[in-house]
Structure 1
Amino acid sequence: MRKPKTLSQIQAQVEAWNSKHGIGADVTVRLDDGRLVTTKAASDAYVLGGHSPVLFLVGVRGCYALDRVTPVQAAARAA
């Protein structure tokens, strides 16, 4: 079983995300039903409840774990 991330690791993940990707960044998210949806970040990432790195997305209800969100690369946007 994988060891849970520490709060400092989670905070570092959030800070790394926010330094590279801002509000409005193009992203793909894996929804609860497994579908992949391309959308935009509606918030900065933050630590929810001291245990989960999350952010809100345009047109998607609720927040999603950063582990389920992938930034869309510039080359993919241009295609």
Structure 2
Amino acid sequence: MAKKRVSSVELTWMIVEQMKDDRNFQRGVSVAVIPDSRLGWRAVVEARAQRRMTPRAQRRFAALEKELQESYALSGD
């Protein structure tokens, strides 16, 4: 199945919206979607905020990223 092409802004919005409902994910955390030569794209969180994330929130973030990578490809923005 072909991946749907979306912008980094759209991907960021999808991640933030899905993580917003998770009580283990701090509000106001900055997420960025960047190109990755191996994966196509990846989501990153600022280092200071990542250190404050609970292990459960980190696992949820990684699972969500993997799930979205299977369905979406980064467009040329």
TM-score range, shorter chain: 0.3 to 0.5
Tell me the TM-score normalised to structure 1 length: 0.34
Structure with more of its chain in helix, by fraction? 2
Structure 1 or 2, whichever has the larger Rg, is: 1
Larger RCO, structures 1/2 (Cα 8 Å, 6+ apart) = 2
Give the strand-richer structure, 1 or 2.
1
